[in-house]
Chains A and B, each alone.
Chain A
């Protein structure tokens, strides 16, 4: 059941990204280009997602276990530190350069061709580099 729900949730998430326009980097960049020919569509993706998410998490916060009896893995950290801000800064630079964030990039692997593979391979390398840096105690 866990696997089925996870698979289904992945499909729905992916369909949402496609329908919402997130899988087209040109559209994402047009959303970020506020001083140019701005396309505010993606604000509506956020709006729709949060409209449901708000109630989902409100209910979830009151439970100690999920409907399948699994422990609730809600983030405990409230820390606003250098890692959070620098991480978000680096992500923002990367996002602004190509218009890809992790979800749409992964959802495009089977249909997007070489450019997507290059981006995803680099993203996984960046993630691996972070894991390595943590293990070595560099961060």
Chain B
């Protein structure tokens, strides 16, 4: 059971939008997490520091949040072998496809990029298909 939280989710989205605004307007960079993380080490030295600073911010965000109010529950039901498979696919796939939910989904769609729309529809529909297979076909069957 998952509760519908339109207002919190909208506020969360506005915060994410504000963060992408900061990155593009002040640093001239795209807030794509798979790109930022994937190029932490491979980027040129001059292009590396801001990536580490951004990731450091991501890491401490839940600690700051927890200072004011308890963190929302994190429910992970996936077994270890599937977590590993999932991680490998997410890591390899986002680098091959040059982006994830943030780079293509948020920044790309905001830029009205057809390339990002194709990517976003592809990973969204694929993920929905996988969830349908896992939850309603394999289990029920």
Chain B contact surface mostly: helix
Query: Of all chain A residues, which has the CB nearest B28?
Result: A66
A2 and B126 contacting across the interface, CB-CB below 8 Å:
no
- Is the beta-carbon distance between B28 and A90 smaller than 8 angstroms? no
Q: What is the 8 Å Cβ interface bit string for chain A, positions 100-129, against chain B (1 contact, 0 not)? A: 111101111111100110111111111111
- Residue contact A103 to B28, C-beta cutoff 8 Å: no
Rounded to whole angstroms, the CA-CA distance of A75 and B103 in the bound complex is 10
Task: List B108-136 residues whose CB lies under 8 Å from chain A.
Answer: 108-115, 118-120, 122-132, 134-136
- Per the CB 8 Å criterion, the residue count for chain A at the interface is 117
The verdict on A87 contacting B13 (CB below 8 Å), with A14-B60, A72-B28, A102-B34 known, is no
A53 touches B20 (CB 8 A): yes
A49–chain B nearest beta-carbon distance, Å:
4
Shortest C-beta distance, A113 to chain B (Å), equals 8
Closest CB of chain B to A135's CB: distance in Å? 10
17 new A-B contacts at CB < 8 Å, known A78-B114, A106-B33: A2-B49, A10-B59, A18-B65, A23-B71, A32-B127, A44-B9, A50-B109, A68-B28, A73-B30, A87-B97, A96-B130, A97-B130, A100-B87, A110-B63, A111-B74, A119-B86, A123-B87
